[in-house]
Amino acid sequence: MNYDTKIESVPEDDALAAGELMSGADEQDRVLRRRIWVASAIALVLMIGIWALTHLRGGNDLADESDIQTPVVTVVVPGKTTVQGEISATGTLAARREMPVGSVGEGGEIRQVLVEPGDWVEQGQVLAVVDRSVQSQQIASQAAQVDVARADAQLAQSNLDRALKLVDRGFISKADVDRLTAERNSANARVRVAQATLGQLKAQAARLNIVAPAAGLVLERNAEPGQVVGGGTGVLFRLAKGGEMELLADLSEDDLAKLSVGVTAQVIPVGSNKTFTGQVWQISPVIDPDNRQGTARIALSYAKELRPGGFASATIETGAVVAPMLPESAIQNDDKGAFVYVVGKDNTVQRRDVKTGLVTADGIAIRSGLNGTEKVVLRAGGFLNNGDKVQTKLVTEKN
């Protein structure tokens, strides 16, 4: 049996299409491989960059490690400053010399009050008038008695004069002359007695009026018309002699020890922007055992803004000193006392014990321990230890 074998031929168009498919696949492989190589190169570059950055930064950190461990501190060279010592105090205003005025006479009913608180009066000026109707009648009666006594004295003198003219003629004896002389002397004495009594009555009447014992400012009035007053009535008026005021400044024992009589003080009353200059004229010799304070009395001239009983603040000068000045931040304290840190030539800090003095708004004066040429740590002293190594930053002003 014979079989015929058929071989089918591939069409030409199909062969071409198959070839194009094979070429497209090769091109895609090449593009994919190219992208893989590019991505690998970029990743390698990034890894090299990260490695270099990490190692270079690490090298710098190692190089600067010593600088980071050494702290930087601010220092100041204080020099020496003339410091005007001041003490701040508060207290109450009062009259420097207060004069209580009352009735010194027999007393009576007040008819008129002539002054008010805040008025200025002169010495001898009448403050209040007291009824004197009875005293006026007594004065008039006694004045008449003086006239009678004078008339009797004149008559006695005339009788004596006539008798003296008749003695030489023998009409009047020596005994009669002596008697008439005695009568004349007695009459003159009665005149003087009557005059003295009249003066006494006038003085008593004058004392009825309430008058100012000295020039000054009326602070208080406790008298009204119709009020009956006498020696036991009490204080009717209060005056500030010469209008002078004072501030009773309360100070501690330490501050009192720094003061002396005559130092200047600036006083500012509460509610006023005006400053008044005064002087310390008396320092309390006694310290209150309860609050350990004493009083400095500051004399002030009269001014209407200074009202007794008011509150005021004072700045008292205590003299000038020349010393280094440091801000409070530079001064440390412990059980041994006050101290500062001084930076030496090798940039190490050393503890220096100091004694502080005047405290002002600009700083604290150093009485001993510094000569003013040292480099003193201005801040961060609380974080340092004796012998620490530091880097310094110098400032020219103390903050």
Single-letter amino acid code for the residue at 232:
G
Single-letter amino acid code for the residue at 213:
P
78: which residues sit within 8 A by CB, 6+ positions away? 324, 325, 326, 366, 370, 372, 374, 376, 398
Residue pLDDT, tens place only, 209-221:
888 999 999 999 9
CA distance linking residue 217 with residue 307, whole number of Å: 11
Using only C-alpha atoms, the chain has a radius of gyration, in whole angstroms, of 55
Is the pLDDT reported for residue 7 higher than 70?
Answer: no
Q: What phi and psi, each to the nearest 5 degrees, are found at residue 377?
A: -65, 125
User: In this predicted structure, what is the pLDDT of residue 9?
Assistant: 46
| Cβ atoms 360, 87 nearer than 8 A | no
User: In this predicted structure, what is the pLDDT of residue 71?
Assistant: 81
Is the pLDDT reported for residue 351 higher than 60?
Answer: yes
CATH number belonging to the domain at 89-94+243-319, selected among 2.40.30.170, 2.60.200.20, 3.30.450.20, 3.20.20.30:
2.40.30.170
- In sequence order, the β-bridge partners of residue 332 are 339
Residue pLDDT, tens place only, 264-322:
999 999 988 899 999 999 998 889 888 889 999 999 998 888 889 999 999 888 766 78
The domain defined by 133-208 folds into Helix Hairpins (1.10.287)
- In sequence order, the β-bridge partners of residue 113 are 128
- In this prediction, residue 51 has a pLDDT band, given cuts at 50, 70 and 90, of low
CA distance linking residue 125 with residue 106, whole number of Å: 19
Give the C-alpha distances (Å, rounded to integers) separating 314 from 48, 141, 269, 338, 361.
Answer: 76, 61, 9, 29, 15
User: In this predicted structure, what is the pLDDT of residue 15?
Assistant: 47
**In the numeric block, which tokens belong to residue 71?**
């702290």
Of the candidates 251, 274, 272, the one whose C-alpha atom is nearest the C-alpha of residue 263 is 251
Q: Which residue has the tokens 């000026």?
A: 125
Of the candidates 245, 320, 211, the one whose C-alpha atom is nearest the C-alpha of residue 91 is 245
The domain defined by 72-83+323-395 folds into 2.40.420
19: which residues sit within 8 A by CB, 6+ positions away? none
When mean pLDDT is compared across 36-40, 151-155, 175-179, 231-235, the lowest value belongs to 36-40
- Most trustworthy range by pLDDT among 73-82, 131-140, 331-340: 331-340
User: In this predicted structure, what is the pLDDT of residue 397?
Assistant: 55
Neighbour-count burial of 56, counting CB atoms closer than 10 A to its CB (0-12 exposed, 13-18 middle, 19+ buried)? exposed
Of the candidates 264, 302, 259, 324, the one whose C-alpha atom is nearest the C-alpha of residue 79 is 324
CA distance linking residue 70 with residue 67, whole number of Å: 5
Give the C-alpha distances (Å, rounded to integers) separating 377 from 77, 337, 365.
Answer: 9, 17, 16
Of the candidates 376, 351, 350, the one whose C-alpha atom is nearest the C-alpha of residue 363 is 376
Of the candidates 311, 315, 261, 264, the one whose C-alpha atom is nearest the C-alpha of residue 285 is 261
Is the pLDDT reported for residue 8 higher than 50?
Answer: no
150 vs 175, higher pLDDT:
150
CA distance linking residue 221 with residue 92, whole number of Å: 21
CATH architecture of 98-130+210-242: Beta Barrel (2.40)
User: In this predicted structure, what is the pLDDT of residue 16?
Assistant: 46
CA distance linking residue 75 with residue 137, whole number of Å: 92
Quick one: CA torsion of 137, 138, 139, 141, rounded to 10 degrees? 90
Q: Tell me the mean pLDDT in the region 27-53.
A: 73
Quick one: CA torsion of 182, 183, 186, 192, rounded to 10 degrees? -130
Is the pLDDT reported for residue 18 higher than 60?
Answer: no
